[in-house]
Amino acid sequence: MNIQITLNDTVYTFPAGITLAQVINQLYLPEQGCVFALNEQVVAKSRWSQMMLNDGDQISLFQVIAGG
């Protein structure tokens, strides 16, 4: 069975039972200087590998941008 998740307004299909860490790795998303929110709740990096995703979940990726 597959699930659909939305990452920053783009829909992706993954096998059921996938974790946030696996999605990050499979999509080659940056890890340094990034914050991921699952359904509007920030997920600590230490929990990425434990956070199982469900059909319809929404992930937001925020990157730190330095400026001056």
Does residue 68 lie within any of the structural domains? Answer: no
Number of domains in the chain: 1
Q: What is the pLDDT of residues 11-66, one digit of tens each?
A: 999 999 999 999 999 999 998 989 999 999 999 999 999 999 999 999 999 988 77
Does residue 24 lie within any of the structural domains? Answer: yes
Please give the pLDDT value at position 44: 96
Predicted model pTM = 0.90
Please give the pLDDT value at position 64: 80
**Does 1 score more than 80 pLDDT?**
yes
> Please, is 20 exposed, middle or buried when counting C-beta atoms within 10 Å of its C-beta (0-12, 13-18, 19+)?
buried
Please give the pLDDT value at position 43: 96
Q: Check which CATH number belongs to the domain holding 14 and give it.
A: 3.10.20.30
Domain around 7? 2-63
Task: Read off φ and ψ for residue 18, nearest 5 degrees.
Answer: -85, 150
